[in-house]
Each structure stands twice: as structure tokens, then as C-alpha cells.
Amino acid sequence: MTLRHIALFRWQDGVDDARIAEVERLLGALPGVVPELRSYSFGRDAGVSEGAFDFAVVADVDDEAGFAAYRDHPDHQAALAVIRPLLADRAALQYRLPG
């Protein structure tokens, strides 16, 4: 079984490219330090649809224990410490992939 985690962020007004680049740097380091991550991607909204969130993170892990390891990993928590003050809104979910 694979468990997919998706997080969507909407930035507060005034969050600039430098701050988003720092978020990208922190998130980009996670696949190298969180062995439970099977697939990991993130990116800024492409701007092709109104009302979209500004940024997305998609993480695939084997199971709930893998998700907990990712969620609680100190480097992930450090990234969240930078991300949380920038957020106007956040949505997240985890679902099982078929097969």
C-alpha cells in the first residue's frame, strides 16, 4: 500500500519570492534525510486557474508509520516552523493509492 499526503498552502499577502525560495530549499532537502519518503514533489501554482492555492506538496510513503516518520522528522518540523508564519490558509489530506 502507498499512502499519499497532499498539503496546499495559500501565502499571506506580502510573502515574497525570497521567502518562498527558502521554503523550497528546506523542502528540497527532505528526500535526502527522510528515508520513508518514496516520492516527493512540491511547487508553486502555475496560475492557470483562479482560486487555486499558491503552493503544493505531495509526499508518498508506504503506510501510516511512514507518514508519521515524515511528519515528525526534525528537518520537516524545521521547515514547518518557517512555513507556518507565512500561511494565510492550509489544506491537507492523506489517501491510499490503489494497488
Percent of the chain with pLDDT over 70: 100
Percent of the chain with pLDDT over 90: 98
Cα distances (angstroms) measured from residue 62 to each of 7, 65, 66, 92, 94: 17, 8, 6, 18, 12
pLDDT tens by residue, 37-75? 999 999 999 999 999 999 999 999 999 999 999 999 999
pTM value is 0.95
pLDDT at residue 99, rounded to an integer: 78
Contact 53, 91 (CB under 8 A): yes
